[in-house]
Structure 1
């Protein structure tokens, strides 16, 4: 009898946008371990090459199943970039995409006093954290198999439910993304659309925050969870795997925060 649970990603085509580092890299790695054919998308070819080299070194027998293509969801040419990415991944439409995971984010958090924020501050945050996901979903219909076995998984953040002072542009964009996901779940059905909402995960973006605000922030984040820990990318990657594998889940927000919401 063939395995019912352990090989659900075997030979599936998975695109991970933002897959060159942090959470996205962990999702790409986990998908590769699950037997998927993985395409990493990132803004620069340099980052893609580094990620592929790292994965190839770790999984030499899987080297043929990992590829990469640049895609900038923040740029004005985002639609063109997405089309090029999808054409590359599918060999110009010869095969179908099974799963799209979007973990892409801006280079750093939008933090500052609300009084000093401009309209462009909010628009830039929306463009960086929300608009790209909308473009991915727009073109998904053409390139994905229209089935409940197919999925799109976006990324928001725990601050949507526990806002932090000075981060309204970023939080507003993440909130909008959760609303978009629920709407896209209706628009794209039977393709499934979900959102993963991470808590504090040790990624390059979080390290930048620690560098900016000091070690006190690190200790505060660690102490704010029931587990007394900051999550690792491989922890949160399991939530994305669940979204891809669970054919009966759509329009949902998956919380993974180490018990932050329960404690606070």
Structure 2
């Protein structure tokens, strides 16, 4: 086995939520370690900007797609375009429900769509379609608000906690995917 610096060499890393923040940093780090990167985000403008920032056009090392991560059919179509890959990193989330209890809950029920249901659907689809290469992994991220709630973040914190529990269960249910 080579050094840990070579673990991503020649691997394809897909990052949902990869156009900004932690997702963009993961994309840049993955590229620096020799991976091919596919980023996805709900904003076409942010995807185009991130691909350019990451050196898009340099061969096929980085590509980007616009996708609504909370819409299963669009998400599945995205994975079909990507094809077989090695690692999925899910940083996409929905922060729109800040301000609880002074929000209209009916307008924020979608918070769980890409925070929880998106990665749940992605893992199931990847497993069923055998889109993850042997030795692959799914990594999800969440902030600390599920552990240490801040004022107004009750809904977002609950969605984060659900994602943490989902990731633990997926590790068991989708084995040998890590």
Pairwise CA distance, 1:111? 2.1
* Aligned counterpart, 1:167: 153
Q: Count matched residues.
A: 176
Aligned to 1:49: 48
Structure 1 alignment gaps of length 5 or more: 91-95, 193-264
Q: Is 2:70 the partner of 1:80?
A: no
Greater radius of gyration (CA): 1
Given that residues 38 and 66 in structure 1 are in contact (C-alpha distance below 8 angstroms), is that contact kept between their aligned partners in structure 2? Answer: yes
Answering whether residue 173 of structure 2 is matched by residue 187 of structure 1, we say yes
Residue in 2 aligned with 1:9? 8
- Show the counterpart of 1:214: none
Q: Could you list the per-position Cα deviations for residues 54-87 of structure 1 after superposition, in whole angstroms to 9, with x for gaps in the alignment? A: 1117xx7x5421111221113xxx2222222112
Structure 2 portions without partners, runs of 5+: none
Q: What is the aligned counterpart of 2:111 among 125, 138, 142?
A: 125
Shift of 1:122: 5.3
Higher helix share: 1
| Structure 2 CA distance for aligned equivalents of residues 166 and 102 of structure 1 | 24
Alignment of 1:130-169 (within 5 A): 130-141=116-127, 142=129, 143-145=131-133, 147=134, 149-169=135-155
**Cα 1:113–1:160 shift into 2, 3 Å:** closer
Are 2:97 and 1:98 equivalent residues in the alignment?
A: no
Cα drift, residue 119 of structure 1:
3.8
| SS, match of residue 153 in structure 1 | strand
* RMSD, aligned α-carbons: 1.9
1:86-127 deviations in Å (ceiling 9; x for gaps): 12212xxxxx21100111122x4522242x344425522222
- Say whether the 8 Å CA contact 2:96–2:108 is kept in structure 1: no
Match for residue 112 of structure 1?
A: 99
1:121–1:169 Cα contact (<8 Å) kept? no
Decide whether the 8 Å contact of 1:41 with 1:48 is kept in 2. yes
**For 1:30-75, what per-residue CA distance to the aligned partner results, in whole angstroms no more than 9, with x for missing partners?**
0011101111111133222111111117xx7x5421111221113x
Contact 1:17 1:24 in 2 (8 A): yes
**Residues 10 and 168 (structure 1), Cα distance of their counterparts in 2 relative to 1, 3 Å cut:** same
User: 1:169 deviation in Å?
Assistant: 0.5
